[in-house]
Chain A
């Protein structure tokens, strides 16, 4: 994707194709997890695609994005390649975090994707810090901070909102309300009738949008970001969405009914945008099939890429603990000698 100018609209067919890429990526990831090519925890985004896609469609490529551990889509939406994402899941050196982070810790500095954070709400203060830096430097960027409905009951979240409001920072808090935090429904976790009311307590303007509707998400965020760029302030958006799969790969999701799941599936964000575009004569069935075929091919190629990619060699183990490498880590001179060479190679690569 090329850099966008303010006010410019991203092509909707391209955005649909991004949603398809995310969906197919996640389906493949699920399959590869079952085949034990992927380890640890793995949280899928299937059902929520319109949220991050709508968001990136509304902002510039140099705006900052940060999210929790359900992060594959946020990287893909930020143009991190499917190859780098799949390779990360496979723990390979070609992964977006060199195989050191895994599913929950995707990072892509070049594309302004600042993680991938696995401690619930721990990244919300980080987002505020990024927004602080924007204002400090007098830039007109914004920070988009994504988090789940479960995050709004952490102390870090509350402290962060107050700071953002107090310093009038350019940040959009985007709550991806998929109704559940693991097995706990919002009703059982939160004393408020609706999540958006959290914002009111900090004098931050808040709104609710339908997260299954790409256009609604995009337009609302575009409007908010426009206002923030004119005069810096925080904003809060409760996006109502749904995850089709369990919380993670090991969760059978027996706390919700089949009927509830079916209800949301009927409202599928991809089907919906496809229908809108078809109705308006902007997309034919053949074109859609082609997009879908391409998405599947990209993802399949990513699996192949990940499979044949190398792992980070064990000699580099100490290279990523301190910026100055193994020397600072105080490991034996022999080891640090080896690692120092490794560090030099990496910094070369970074230039």
Chain B
């Protein structure tokens, strides 16, 4: 194991998959000559050439559709959205074409496309540039959605996504690109299955269910809570769809108390789904109502203080944990 950044981990995953399979190509805005808007594709043009690493005009609807079409005839495109906020202009391709094709063709055409890029609010980018899209996309049958929070998960999930025969969205966390973590050396194949959550920290008093940018938040809060003798178990979903129900239920059966901290909105958010499944399946294990901490139900303000007030943050999470623990 060695320590690398989340960005490097994604870069390695891309390089390894491009190397392994000639049907894989990477396409998107500024991915080649500029080396990636967030430098995730750094060096890939030099290594794989312009037929495999391809710059596009600002035409998301066009190149997302191109990816779906190329997949219909057997290629395995990796389509980068500069951010998932811009995937919204390609919504039809991602939501209507990619996931429906297999069903509509009676199983003749599977779409082995990977859509990837940063997702979720970054810092003061305003309403148009701060979308957390996981709940939109996870609600669509036929799509798989994962949300890595560590370099290791980023590498392992992206590689798995590229090899999956269905359309998979890898929603990367922009604010975590420079964060570091231990990852297996490049000569060791690292594949992390979709639909497998990961307990990032064991605990006994409360299960804090999180994903993507809320994972480091939850871990930070867990250390703080420890000082107050509250032992929090941090369950990183890693995949939103498929959802690892077993890991969730196992944790809840142990702690009996749940807080879900999500980076999307409260109304029809990911947490609502998780919540429903918990109460449906292990209602008797619960000692307190589940609380969700999410963004506030408003378009993202630019002002820094208001943005902070909108986002899930440590104060809100601590308050929620204390509430479910009656502490």
Is A301 engaged at the interface, CB distance under 8 Å to the other chain?
A: no
Is B309 engaged at the interface, CB distance under 8 Å to the other chain?
A: yes
> Which residues 59-73 of B sit at the A interface, judged by CB distance below 8 A?
59-62
Is A298 engaged at the interface, CB distance under 8 Å to the other chain?
A: no
Known A-B contacts A105-B302, A155-B62; the reply to A182 vs B128 at CB < 8 A is no
Set of chain A residues within 8 Å of B303, measured between Cβ atoms? 91-92, 99-100, 311-312
Is B262 engaged at the interface, CB distance under 8 Å to the other chain?
A: no
Is B282 engaged at the interface, CB distance under 8 Å to the other chain?
A: no
Known A-B contacts A40-B123, A311-B305, A317-B301; the reply to A255 vs B58 at CB < 8 A is no
Is A170 engaged at the interface, CB distance under 8 Å to the other chain?
A: no
Contact with B along A320-342 (1 / 0, CB 8 A): 11000000011100000000000
Query: Is A105 a contact partner of B128 (Cβ separation < 8 A)?
Result: yes
Query: Is B306 a contact partner of A317 (Cβ separation < 8 A)?
Result: yes
Query: Is B296 a contact partner of A41 (Cβ separation < 8 A)?
Result: no
Set of chain B residues within 8 Å of A103, measured between Cβ atoms? 302
CB distance from B133 to the nearest CB of A (A): 14
- Chain B binding surface SS class: loop
Known A-B contacts A41-B125, A184-B57, A189-B57; the reply to A331 vs B306 at CB < 8 A is no
Is A183 engaged at the interface, CB distance under 8 Å to the other chain?
A: yes
Set of chain B residues within 8 Å of A40, measured between Cβ atoms? 123-126, 129, 302
Query: Is A120 a contact partner of B128 (Cβ separation < 8 A)?
Result: no
> Which residues 31-85 of B sit at the A interface, judged by CB distance below 8 A?
33-34, 37, 55, 57-62, 85
Contact with A along B284-307 (1 / 0, CB 8 A): 000000000000111101111110
Query: Is A182 a contact partner of B37 (Cβ separation < 8 A)?
Result: yes
- Give the docked Cα–Cα distance between A189 and B303 (Å): 34
Query: Is A311 a contact partner of B306 (Cβ separation < 8 A)?
Result: yes
- Give the docked Cα–Cα distance between A97 and B60 (Å): 28
> Which residues 177-203 of A sit at the B interface, judged by CB distance below 8 A?
181-184, 188-190
> Which residues 146-194 of B sit at the A interface, judged by CB distance below 8 A?
none
Is B30 engaged at the interface, CB distance under 8 Å to the other chain?
A: yes
CB distance from B45 to the nearest CB of A (A): 12
Is B310 engaged at the interface, CB distance under 8 Å to the other chain?
A: yes
> Which residues 151-196 of A sit at the B interface, judged by CB distance below 8 A?
151, 153-156, 181-184, 188-190
> Which residues 61-119 of A sit at the B interface, judged by CB distance below 8 A?
91-92, 97, 99-105, 117-119
CB distance from B110 to the nearest CB of A (A): 26
Is B319 engaged at the interface, CB distance under 8 Å to the other chain?
A: no
Query: Is A321 a contact partner of B299 (Cβ separation < 8 A)?
Result: yes
Is A150 engaged at the interface, CB distance under 8 Å to the other chain?
A: yes
- Give the docked Cα–Cα distance between A216 and B125 (Å): 36
Query: Is A255 a contact partner of B34 (Cβ separation < 8 A)?
Result: yes
Task: Give the nearest-CB partner of A320 in chain B.
Answer: B298
Is B89 engaged at the interface, CB distance under 8 Å to the other chain?
A: yes
Is A345 engaged at the interface, CB distance under 8 Å to the other chain?
A: no
Query: Is B57 a contact partner of A118 (Cβ separation < 8 A)?
Result: no
Query: Is B58 a contact partner of A181 (Cβ separation < 8 A)?
Result: yes
Set of chain A residues within 8 Å of B305, measured between Cβ atoms? 91, 311, 314
Set of chain A residues within 8 Å of B30, measured between Cβ atoms? 182-184
Please give the number of chain A residues whose Cβ is less than 8 angstroms from any Cβ of chain B in the complex.
43
Q: Which of A100, A121, A181, A184 contacts B302 (CB 8 A)?
A: A100
Set of chain B residues within 8 Å of A154, measured between Cβ atoms? 58-61, 89
Set of chain A residues within 8 Å of B33, measured between Cβ atoms? 183-184, 188, 255
Query: Is B129 a contact partner of A155 (Cβ separation < 8 A)?
Result: no
Set of chain B residues within 8 Å of A312, measured between Cβ atoms? 301, 303, 306
Set of chain A residues within 8 Å of B62, measured between Cβ atoms? 153, 155
Known A-B contacts A120-B58, A331-B297; the reply to A91 vs B304 at CB < 8 A is yes
- Give the interface residue-count category, chain B: 35 or more
Contact with A along B101-136 (1 / 0, CB 8 A): 000000000000000000000011111110000000
Query: Is B58 a contact partner of A317 (Cβ separation < 8 A)?
Result: no
CB distance from A108 to the nearest CB of B (A): 16
Is A318 engaged at the interface, CB distance under 8 Å to the other chain?
A: yes
Query: Is B128 a contact partner of A317 (Cβ separation < 8 A)?
Result: no
Task: Give the nearest-CB partner of A186 in chain B.
Answer: B57
Q: Which of B58, B125, B297 contacts A153 (CB 8 A)?
A: B58
Contact with B along A199-241 (1 / 0, CB 8 A): 0000000000000000000000000000000000000000000
CB distance from A338 to the nearest CB of B (A): 14
Set of chain B residues within 8 Å of A41, measured between Cβ atoms? 125, 129
- Give the docked Cα–Cα distance between A312 and B309 (Å): 12
- Give the docked Cα–Cα distance between A105 and B299 (Å): 13
Set of chain B residues within 8 Å of A311, measured between Cβ atoms? 303, 305-306
Is B233 engaged at the interface, CB distance under 8 Å to the other chain?
A: no
CB distance from A331 to the nearest CB of B (A): 7
- Give the docked Cα–Cα distance between A40 and B302 (Å): 8
Known A-B contacts A101-B126, A102-B126, A118-B128; the reply to A39 vs B306 at CB < 8 A is no
- Give the docked Cα–Cα distance between A154 and B64 (Å): 12
Task: Give the nearest-CB partner of A189 in chain B.
Answer: B57
- Give the docked Cα–Cα distance between A318 and B61 (Å): 33
Set of chain A residues within 8 Å of B29, measured between Cβ atoms? 182, 184
Is B137 engaged at the interface, CB distance under 8 Å to the other chain?
A: no
- Give the docked Cα–Cα distance between A101 and B301 (Å): 6
Known A-B contacts A101-B302, A317-B306, A317-B310; the reply to A190 vs B297 at CB < 8 A is no
Known A-B contacts A119-B89, A184-B57; the reply to A329 vs B298 at CB < 8 A is yes
Residues of A within 8 A of B (CB): 39-41, 91-92, 97, 99-105, 117-122, 150-151, 153-156, 181-184, 188-190, 255, 311-312, 314, 317-318, 320-321, 329-331
List 6 extra interface pairs beyond A311-B305, A317-B301, CB under 8 A.
A153-B59, A154-B60, A155-B89, A184-B33, A255-B33, A314-B309
* 9 interchain residue pairs of minimum CB distance: A102-B302, A39-B124, A40-B124, A153-B57, A183-B34, A91-B303, A189-B57, A99-B303, A118-B128
CB<8 Å pairs between A and B, sample of 10: A91-B303, A91-B305, A100-B301, A119-B86, A153-B62, A155-B89, A181-B58, A182-B29, A184-B29, A312-B303
Residues of B within 8 A of A (CB): 29-30, 33-34, 37, 55, 57-62, 85-86, 88-89, 123-129, 296-299, 301-306, 309-310
